[in-house]
Structure 1
Amino acid sequence: MDHIAGKWTILVIDALRAGGTMRYTDLSRRIGGVSQKMPTQTLRTLESDGFLTRTQHPTIPPRVEYTLTPLGHSLAEPVTALREWTETHINEIEAARRSVE
């Protein structure tokens, strides 16, 4: 559950759903504002959990691509809905946080 609900998981799954097969740099660019460590860690976890496949092509320099698996696609719809809900209600969430501070 921790892997599925993580901020970076939601961003990676949503980016791959929208962009299809992507290289690491394209994926990082699409997510934006992240260090190299977080997407790398997230991609490894998602691969080990069966949500995406990592394909390394034997070229120089090596070309690596990421694609959602059928399991990843089944997760993409609820993840996208969660992201959209958050974007819709972000002002309310921030207002609630300010009222508690």
Structure 2
Amino acid sequence: MPRRRGVLGPPNGYLAPDGVWPDGPFQDDTPETVLVAAQIAARLRDVVAEAGLNVTQVSDGLGIARSTYYDIVTNGATLPDLHTIVRAEAFLNTRLWPRT
């Protein structure tokens, strides 16, 4: 079975020296997976702010820990999984996955 390749370490490890998660800038060799995750994290952050929701409300609605929300949205320590993205889109009634 082939090994998955691409993202080595946390997503925030691909930030340029002056970068801030999830807005960047990112290093030139950043995998597409990390760039998409950053777009999702930024969109999630913005939609939550527009809705006036707090982290507890969102994490409860998504069925994740508050620390997981922070790891995805605020500090880029982890990639969001597909289940979390789908639940977030349903809970917030919006599309988070970027259109290409």
The structure with the greater share of residues assigned to strand is 1
Give the TM-score normalised by structure 1: 0.29
Structure whose alpha-carbon radius of gyration is higher: 1
Give the TM-score normalised by structure 2: 0.29
The structure with the greater share of residues assigned to helix is 1
